[in-house]
């Protein structure tokens, strides 16, 4: 495998790993749903990493034309993925809820596991837990209902 193919494999693997790592702070495994937004953010990070790593290791990669293509392609992926994250253009009802469940789960994890001493903060955290768990259950039910309706069409 040539050095540019290894570079591409390294960036692709790292991007996939970063996508997976974004789910490590969910409270429960049943709160892990595919998220378009997280996928786009992984692409933003992967493209950024490709640019930074190539520039740091430029001495190892001596094909100027290929380097320019990698840098320009990475910049385009970065810009496109960032636009998708910021605009939420492709996110529909179900995609939105699949992204929000892990997000809510993070609030449950931090609210349950933080070492909170102040009673007022504990009360706030308990309210967050209650609301987030209720909303996660509501979103799961809505996803199921919407998917059943779509399948029935």
Per residue in 94-115, pLDDT tens? 999 999 999 999 999 999 999 9
Closest among 2, 8, 15 to 70, alpha carbons compared: 8
Structure tokens at 128: 């967050």
Per residue in 9-25, pLDDT tens? 999 999 999 999 999 99
Structure tokens at 139: 């979103």
Per residue in 40-81, pLDDT tens? 999 999 999 999 999 999 999 999 999 999 999 999 999 999
d(CA 109, CA 94): 23
Answer yes or no: is pLDDT of 153 > 90.
Answer: no
DSSP state of 114: S
Supply the pLDDT for residue 102. 95
Write the CA distances from 98 to 18, 64, 105, 109, 115, integer angstroms: 18, 42, 11, 17, 29
């Amino acid at each position: 495998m040539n050095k540019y193919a290894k570079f591409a494999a390294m960036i692709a693997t790292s991007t996939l790993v970063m996508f997976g790592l974004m789910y490590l702070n969910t409270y429960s495994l049943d709160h892990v749903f595919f998220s378009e937004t997280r996928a786009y953010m992984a692409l933003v990070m992967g493209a950024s990493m490709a640019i930074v790593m190539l520039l740091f290791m430029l001495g190892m990669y001596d094909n100027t034309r290929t380097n320019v293509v990698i840098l320009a392609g990475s910049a385009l992926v970065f810009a496109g993925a960032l636009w998708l994250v910021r605009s939420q253009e492709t996110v529909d009802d179900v995609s939105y809820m699949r992204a929000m469940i892990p997000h809510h789960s993070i609030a449950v994890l931090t609210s349950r596991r933080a070492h909170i001493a102040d009673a007022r903060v504990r009360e706030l955290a308990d309210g967050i837990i209650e609301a987030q768990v209720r909303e996660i259950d509501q979103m799961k039910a809505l996803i199921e209902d919407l998917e059943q309706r779509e399948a029935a069409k």
